[in-house]
Amino acid sequence: MIARPIYAVLEREVVRMFRQRTRLVSAMVRPLIWLFVIGAGFGAVLGQARGIDYQQFLVPGVLGMTVLFGSMLAALTMVYDKESGVMRMLIIAPFAHHWIIVAKTLAAALAGIVQAVLLLIVLALLGFLSRQMHYALLFAGVLVTALACAGIGILVAAFTRTLDNFAAIMNFVIFPVFFLSGALYPIDNLPVALKVAAMLNPFTYAVDLLKHAMLTASAASASELRVGIDFLACVGFTVLAVVLASWRFSREQAYEPLIHILTGKRG
Amino acid sequence: MNDARPLALESAVHTQGLTKRYGEVLAVDGLDLQIPAGRFFGLLGPNGSGKTTTIHMLSTLVRPSAGRAAVAGHDVERDAVPVRASIGLVFQDSALDRTLTVAQNLRFAGLLYNLAPALIEQRGRELLELFGLNDKRDRPVGSLSGGMRRALDIVRGVIHHPRILFLDEPTIGLDLPNRRKIWRFIERLRASTGMTVLLTTHYLEEADTCDEVAFINSGKIVQRGTPRELVDRLGRHIVEIEARDLDPLVQSLAPRLGRELRDGDMAMFRYPEENVAPIAALQTELVGRVSAFRIRRPNLNDVFLWVNAAR
């Protein structure tokens, strides 16, 4: 019963993603800039991080970044949907409203996965991928990373009225999530407060998982946590985020600003 | 609210004491409404009278503060999902994705109602044909004119063949030719499906074709009946007089024409008789004292004005 509506939301996400090609291209270019510019620059200063070349260390991080931006921004478009006609179509459709959150989270995760696959192709062509990767673990890792990133986005979207203040979301959500994750540097070198913040960040576990999958030869030193814990943290956070966002979304309707956002007036 | 008697099943819409309070404001005040299946029903009233809030409660998007409502036999609070499955809703603002094409929008809407893609395709073609939009299938919605978008919004609202269609001000913001077009579409749609239609509008001339209308003001029904009945109840004619100094004129006419309704320099009187000879005589009597004198048939607009004046 609910499969088709969810499919509809996923299909719309993919159609929209390939329509906005510049967004897709920039999603490919952004990680490469990090890899070539930051990677080369800091690589020259640092030499090696945890026994491996810094640029190699950065590869799982930029893959994670692509998923983070891809999934999170896609989930954040729910705020835009609230202001446009799409949410009207969704709220009058015959299913419980928490399915809107579930469908949107899955669609956002799919957006991140598609971008991750495209980036992996680019990275492979540029010779950045090791032949000894754990392919199954990489697949599963990208999947749960995308879900967790979509979860962060949907949580922010559920508590946000408009995207007018996108800069604030960038400063207070996207940047901290990215910088405090181990994507750019090992977290156990961080001061205690930041390390605690990193341990509370679901993206930390996602990036760690990608390191496990991609840096096989030196995984023992590059990744800092156990695979099982990484999985549990990502999946657990996603479930929590969906439940919280659904609760918030239905509460918003109980108090009715949603319908007023939709119609702009009481008639 | 805890009344255990089931609301009548044969009614498309049935409400008892339906009430919505926003803080101090009573948006809808104890509404009792019964709309038999297949009816074309108009809910009329000024802006802010409670029309849209009523529609939102009936379509499960807003919770009633008190009273109850059944739509297609389902309670709007307890069985929100079955209610949403049996209704189509066209909002005042478009419920379309402007970035997708016409066909993509219908596919999205149809899939949300669990329709098979082939069925969506077939119904989409039939409905777009009815609305004259078939050649626009692959155009992005953002590039359509306001009238076309509104027509597409209605197609979107009926793609799942709802038993009841709610149209909330379907022609608002459209110019006259486009309003006429939308009305022709709605007539064709009713003729081909027989669905119950609940319409809100404040363009009263558009409600003339309704089987039944109810005037709502401050959340209460103040008058209801067929448009013909309501107009007939008002009188056979309306006499309009325009003059610079109305007061003495109105006073002198009161014994013959009764209470007047003012609108700036104009006064309107109701005249109950079919025979207008006495009025024609009045016209000659008033020559020179008035700048205009008109006798015309009343319409729903007059009903609306007199209903509100009586309050």
What gap in Å lies between CA A30 and CA A107, rounded to an integer? 22
What mean pLDDT comes out for the span B84-90? Answer: 96
The dotted CATH code for B231-309 is 3.30.70
Domain span including residue A50? 3-263
Q: B33-80: per-residue pLDDT in tens?
A: 999 999 999 999 888 889 999 999 999 988 999 999 999 999 999 999
Whether B56 and chain A come into contact, CB under 8 Å, resolves to: yes
Q: What does the pLDDT read at residue A221?
A: 59
Residue B2 pLDDT class (50, 70, 90 cuts)? very low
B8 has pLDDT over 60: no
Min CA distance, B243 vs chain A (Å)? 36
ipTM of the complex model: 0.88
Whether B203 and chain A come into contact, CB under 8 Å, resolves to: no
Higher-confidence residue: B309 or A185?
Answer: A185
Q: What does the pLDDT read at residue A53?
A: 82
Whether B283 and chain A come into contact, CB under 8 Å, resolves to: no
What mean pLDDT comes out for the span B253-277? Answer: 87
DSSP A250-263: HHHHHS-HHHHHHH
Whether A91 and chain B come into contact, CB under 8 Å, resolves to: yes
Q: What does the pLDDT read at residue A51?
A: 65
The structural domain count of chain A equals 1
> Which CATH number does the domain B11-225 belong to among 3.40.50.800, 3.40.50.300, 2.30.40.10, 3.30.300.130?
3.40.50.300
Q: What does the pLDDT read at residue A256?
A: 54
Q: Is the pTM of this model over 0.80?
A: yes
What mean pLDDT comes out for the span B104-116? Answer: 97
Q: Confirm if A97 and A253 have CB atoms less than 8 A apart.
A: yes
Half-sphere exposure of B21 (CA within 13 A, CB side): 7
Whether A90 and chain B come into contact, CB under 8 Å, resolves to: yes
Q: A65-111: per-residue pLDDT in tens?
A: 999 999 999 999 888 887 778 888 999 999 999 999 999 999 999 99
Name B22's bridge partners.
B25
Cβ neighbors of A225 (< 8 A, separation 6 or more) are: A204, A205, A208
Q: What does the pLDDT read at residue A68?
A: 96
Residue B97 pLDDT class (50, 70, 90 cuts)? very high
Distances in Å between the Cα of B40 and the Cα atoms of A239, B12, B88, B152, B211 are 46, 11, 14, 21, 5
Name B237's bridge partners.
B271
- What residue ranges do the domains of chain B occupy? 11-225, 231-309
Q: Return the amino acid letter for A90.
A: L
Answer yes or no: do A5 and B22 touch at CB < 8 A.
no
* Among the partner residues A7, A12, A92, nearest to B89 by beta-carbon distance: A92
In chain A, the DSSP E strands lie at 48-49, 52-53
Q: Extract the tokens encoding A192.
A: 């205690």
Answer yes or no: do B49 and A264 touch at CB < 8 A.
no
Residue B3 pLDDT class (50, 70, 90 cuts)? very low
Q: How far from the centroid of its chain's Cα atoms is residue A247's Cα? A: 21
Q: B185-203: per-residue pLDDT in tens?
A: 888 889 888 899 999 988 8
Q: What does the pLDDT read at residue B33?
A: 94
Q: A–B: how many Cβ contacts below 8 A?
A: 98
Q: What does the pLDDT read at residue A267?
A: 38
If you average pLDDT over every residue of chain B, what do you get? 90
- In B, minimum Cα distance to A15 occurs at B100
B160 has pLDDT over 50: yes
DSSP A119-148: HHHHHHHTT-S-TT--HHHHHHHHHHHHHH
* pLDDT < 50 stretches in chain A: 219, 257, 261, 265-267
Q: Return the amino acid letter for A257.
A: P
Q: What does the pLDDT read at residue A259?
A: 54
What mean pLDDT comes out for the span B288-293? Answer: 88
- In A, minimum Cα distance to B217 occurs at A267
